[in-house]
A = this chain, B = another copy of it.
Amino acid sequence: MKRREATHPTRDQLLEAGLALAENGSLARMSVNTLVQAAGVAKGTFYVHFPSQDEYLVALHRHFHDSLMREISMAVKSLPRGAARLVRGTEAYLDGCLSRRGVKALLFDARALPAVADEVRARNRMFHTHFAGEFSALGWPDPEAAMRLFVAMAAETALGEMEAGRVQPALRKALWRFLGVVPKRRKPRH
């Protein structure tokens, strides 16, 4: 076995422990002590893999954000620009949030931590720019502003669904109605 591997199992253990801890509590409560205890490693090991707690939190947020973005990209990659693509991407986002407990702390409370605030802002802006094309295809005069507000609604819907622990059709329907589209049924009655 090589001395250096591309993968770092202990590092991943620490990130996984962070995800698990995020499930029931805010990021503000995530101390290095709790973290290493949950990961089952010594305290010093934490600093073998992360230069500081702040950098760990950024890495954790990034890790999570990336995997969610990947799912969304997969879901929409074969669709042309427009409302259907936006709806499909949003559904992937909502389902992705629901399937991961802990996302709440990671994506929503993260903004309040000075350490990750910049990271969150940068990621959001990237996201807005990347998907603004959908609104421009829909004929909105300022697609980026529209996208920003739409993301806020999608995030609120995700929050509501995570609080309830299941899909909230009322919120999703309101979301599509604000968008001005009625998504096609998957299995239309005939």
Contacts and interface: CB of A to CB of B under 8 A. Distances in A.
A114 interface: yes
A6 interface: no
Contacts of A114: 25-26, 28-29
Q: DSSP class of A's interface residues: helix, strand, loop or mixed? A: helix
A178 B149 contact: yes
Most chain B CB neighbours (cut-off 10 Å) among A111, A145, A151: A145
A111 B113 contact: no
B175 A149 contact: yes
Contacts of A152: 152-153, 155-156
A17 B175 CA distance: 40
A177 interface: yes
Contacts of A156: 148-149, 151-152
Contact of A160 (B148, B171, B177): B148
A27 interface: yes
A153 to B, nearest CB: 4
Contact of A28 (B113, B155, B178): B113
Contacts of A171: 145, 148-149
Contacts of A177: 140, 146
Interface in A19-37: 25-29
Interface in A89-110: 108-110
Contacts of A74: none
Nearest to A110: B112
A170 B132 CA distance: 14
